[in-house]
Structure formats: C-alpha cells, structure tokens
Amino acid sequence: MSNTKQEGCVASWCADDEWCTVTCTAHLIGKKWHPVIVHRLLEHGPLGFNVLKAEIDVISSTVLSSSLEDLEDNGLVNRAIVSEKPFRVEYSLTEQGASLEPIITAMDAWGERYLEDQ
C-alpha cells in the first residue's frame, strides 16, 4: 500500500500489511448499524431522517444520527437540506457509498443462508 493510500485509510495503523485493505473496509462498515443504513439507502434511495429511522425501527435517534455523521465523515453518505421550513434533511449514498452494493448484497445473501442453517 502506498503512503498516499495509507494516509487516506481510516485504519492506517495496519501500515503496509497485506490485510490492510480488508481492515479499512471493516472499519468503515463494520459498526453495527453502518451496513444496515447503507442497505436501506441502497434499497430505497434518498431518505429523510425519520423515514430512515422507521425503516430500521430498533435504532435510537442518537445512534442513527451518530452513525450517519460517521458515514458522512467517511464519504459514504451525503446529507442535504431539502427544506428550511419545515427543516428537512435527506440522506443519500455518495458514489463511494453506492459502490458498496455488491458487498452489502453478499452480506445479505450470506446472512440468509447462515440463518437457514441454524
């Protein structure tokens, strides 16, 4: 991994280890709710905060807000103000976030098979 790529990696502590790319990916989407949020945005397109919360249901507003902020900081989610009165924000995937589709789809398929075998 080049120094430029390493500096951009959120898990830069893995240095030039061959598994660093896996660690970077896991760091970005490995938090409990991150893949679920990405999955819902892939499935439904841009969503307002309350609709996204309803789609996930069991997530608290605080955790959803924190997760969205983290995903936005890492360039995976866009936050756009749709209207000022009443104030409304909409979340959508960036191009980078949308590129997670094959990973999220594979996670969904693997999880379905795993749960069937239990």
**pLDDT per position as a tens digit, 29-65:** 889 999 999 999 999 999 999 999 999 999 999 999 9
Residue 8 has pLDDT above 60, yes or no: no
Does domain 33-117 bear CATH number 1.10.10.10? yes
- How many Cβ atoms from other residues are within 10 Å of residue 33's Cβ? 19
What average pLDDT does range 94-104 have in this prediction? 97
Indicate the pTM of the whole model: 0.83
What average pLDDT does range 83-95 have in this prediction? 93
Residue span(s) of the chain under CATH 1.10.10.10 come to 33-117
Q: Using 50, 70 and 90 to split pLDDT, how confident is the model at 20?
A: confident
Element (H, E) at 7: helix 3-8
The three-class DSSP label of residue 37 is helix
Find all residues with CB under 8 Å of 15, minimum gap 6, and list them: 1, 6
